[in-house]
Amino acid sequence: MYMENISDTLTLYNGVKIPGLGFGVWQISPLHTAKCVKMAIKAGYRNIDTAEGYMNERSVGEAVRESGIPREEIWVTSKMWSSEYGEGRTMEGIDRMLERLDIGYIDLLLLHQQVGDYMGAWKDCEKAVAQGKPMFRSSCAGISRRARSFFRNPPIRSISGIILISLILN
Q: Known catalytic residues? A: 54
Quick check: helix, strand or coil at residue 50? coil
Please, how many CA atoms are within 13 Å of residue 91, restricted to the half-sphere of its CB? 13
Q: Pick from 76, 60, 79, 86: which is nearest to 141 by CA?
A: 79
The beta-strand segments (E) located in the chain are 9-11, 17-19, 23-24, 47-49, 75-80, 106-111, 135-140
Q: In this structure, are residues 121 and 80 in contact, taking their beta carbons and an 8 Å threshold? A: yes
Residue 18 pairs with which residues in a beta bridge? Answer: 10
